[in-house]
Structure 1
């Protein structure tokens, strides 16, 4: 195991050659820290580093634990420096913290998650991003045992599909399309969990017999044309990710947010228009940037383009279309993008990814760009 970790650290230094030289621990970083229940790996990384994704370079693998990326409540972390002056964080040996007020209980069966599990869990367990053909292939709600357009808990649904008796299913509705902001192409569709149900009678499509599903819980009313997807009993998923920066240079955009608000801050879940096709993976950390406003400089002085006259806006737009210079009386200044935050991917599809905003310098918006720095 130790040789594998050494190889991992060497690979990390190869990907980030300047990391060892630029790694700097915060002046406020504690020399020792006792991991508490409710901590996340991101929280602890942020205690020591301004760039938490550099955590693998700081964390010193310790043979006392089986997995170098897992830390547990009750563990005591110790900050020290190696012979070359590089900061290292490791699991303190033989250290027990005694307190008359707080007792930290070590739970070796549940490592702390990388990000807050309560925020990620609904998206990891239920939420899906699907294509048009995916919806068409799923069992569809035809109606119920009541002549209602909307159904609630306890109603029986009749579903087009041969579903196994006793099976547990999530009931979904096609939501908004996730679109490429450049050309409007549909990348995927949001699938909205509206309820759950259990199959009480199997069906037979060839005989024209629908399956019968009893609604067991609802988040909103179930309607005809909603579709079903199985929920695995005891479904498991990892809440621990290796935080890394993508090797390749990429750029994309935030195209949606889970709260549907115009602006949002840390711990918000967003959707970006990048995915596996861009060689992205769960745990990748991206920077969030916003375009600074364009300025038009005229004899009367500079002004933001949104404050300029309608004629100036048209002239500026036409000039940009044809790649022409503006007249001598006005100069258009295209300002740079500025970083406004960071996010980490936790669920990656082919064309899109779900991510959590982990750091903000100002409120983040749909339309802000993301990049690998």
Structure 2
């Protein structure tokens, strides 16, 4: 009997359906009448066959009465596009095309679950990468050295930190990386904080008192991604690292404007499924699952007596006195893509690009769809 792999959808719409239902669902002209689910498919990929905006997929599934969990489908299932009495489109599992009965199917859920979005692309950032303020980094315990009397520790070493830890608890060892700078204001928003190793504490350590000296905490190194250095910071392994069970994909209920300030790649331009860093975070009420548009400002034009010219093509005199006699016209900004916020800290967020009309660049703006 063929083994079935469940496609477990991690993007569900909870009680806040009004954000999704406010959008009119339009089926693509080239949408197939039916589709056989294949191993490796994601619901995002399948939805893209039917919708120009795949993140609106819950409207295709929410009224499906044929399966207990409309967010669980399997390779081999045949999906059929139908319309309800109100003319609303929906995808249904074609029971006549199933190889196993529904009762058997519910018990045959072996295999690795596959998420709706390609979470393998963002798992590293969900589970390891941090964006922390300088104050938070400075408050963390830090590595003093190791039992091997080397500057760079590796696996099987014992490392010692200044700070009180919990014996038996797992910790991540982090290194402060590049700064995240707000391109709009020049403000420092935080630092890239990258996991270099994992360790388990076996001595708590002790802060200094009037009667006792400082006692270093002790950790056994479990795994190493990079060599551990003196001064690296230590934080509980689960802090900011929980892989969310669900993303509630929705438009923000408030106006949001910001900028893409960095990317995890070193490329000048990037595209779908690339990771970007935004200069907005929880202090701006952003949440994982928020869908945002990516926009690019069109060039500014100086409409002078000799006709319109771009600013970069203007004469030195025009550039110096462009507000005196010549009309400066800022052309409208245009949408170049979409993204989903998936990890949020106070001043910074990570997003994954889900759609592009043009290559995305650092400096592009973000705003409501």
Q: Would the TM-score normalized by the shorter structure come out above 0.5?
A: yes
**5 Å matches for 1:1-373?**
12=17, 14-15=18-19, 19=23, 22-96=24-98, 107=109, 111-206=113-208, 207-232=213-238, 237-238=243-244, 240-316=246-322, 319=323, 326-327=324-325, 330-373=326-369
Deviation at 1:209, TM superposition (A): 1.9
CA drift of 1:167 comes to 3.1
Does the CA-based 8 Å contact 2:132-2:345 persist in structure 1? no
Q: 1:109 to 1:249 in 2, by over 3 A?
A: farther
Q: Distance between the aligned counterparts of 1:145 and 1:358, measured in 2? A: 47
Q: Secondary structure at the match of 1:341?
A: strand
CA contact (8 A) 1:287 1:370 kept: yes
C-alpha distance in 2 between matches for 1:17 and 1:163: 48
DSSP-derived class of the 2:229 partner: coil
**Secondary structure at the counterpart of residue 345 of structure 1:** strand
Given that residues 20 and 250 in structure 2 are in contact (C-alpha distance below 8 angstroms), is that contact kept between their aligned partners in structure 1? no
> Post-superposition shift, 1:268?
0.7
How many Å separate the matches in 1 of 2:15 and 2:168?
A: 50
Is the partner of 2:95 in helix, strand or coil? coil
1:153-179 CA-to-partner distances (Å, cap 9, x unmatched) read 333322112334443221101223323
Aligned length: 346
Counterpart residue number, 2:6: none
Q: CA deviation at 1:88?
A: 1.4
Shift of the 86–47 alpha-carbon distance from structure 1 to 2, 3 Å rule, reads same
Contact 1:70/1:112, CA 8 A, preserved across alignment: no
Q: CA deviation at 1:55?
A: 1.8
Paired residue secondary structure (1:277): helix
Residues 272, 150 of structure 1: alpha-carbon distance in 2 compared, 3 angstrom cutoff: same
In structure 2, the CA distance between the partners of 1:67 and 1:137, relative to structure 1 (3 Å rule), is: farther
Q: Answer yes or no: is the 8 Å Cα contact 1:72–1:111 preserved in 2.
A: no
Aligned to 2:5: none
Alpha carbons of structure 1 residues 214 and 16: separation in structure 2 relative to 1, 3 Å: closer
Residues 273, 351 of structure 1: 8 Å contact kept: yes
TM-score computed with the length of structure 2 as normaliser: 0.83
Q: Distance in 2 between matches of 1:140 and 1:89?
A: 53
**In 2: Cα distance, 1:236 partner to 1:278 partner:** 22
In the superposition, relative to structure 1, how do residues 372 and 145 fare at CA in structure 2: closer, same or farther (>3 Å)? Answer: same
Aligned partners of 2:295 and 2:333 also within 8 Å: yes
Q: Offset at 1:212?
A: 2.4
Pick closer, same or farther for the CA change 1:298–1:171 going to 2, 3 Å. same
Alpha-carbon distance between aligned partners in 2 of 1:193 and 1:45, rounded to the nearest angstrom: 35
User: Per the alignment, do residues 67 and 281 of structure 1 end up closer, same or farther by CA in structure 2, a change over 3 Å counting?
Assistant: farther
Q: What displacement does 1:111 show?
A: 4.8
Distance 1:215 1:311 in 2: 64
TM-superposed CA distance for 1:146, in Å, is: 4.2
Shift of 1:354: 1.2
- Specify every segment of 5 or more residues in structure 2 that has no aligned partner in the other structure, as ranges: 1-12, 101-106
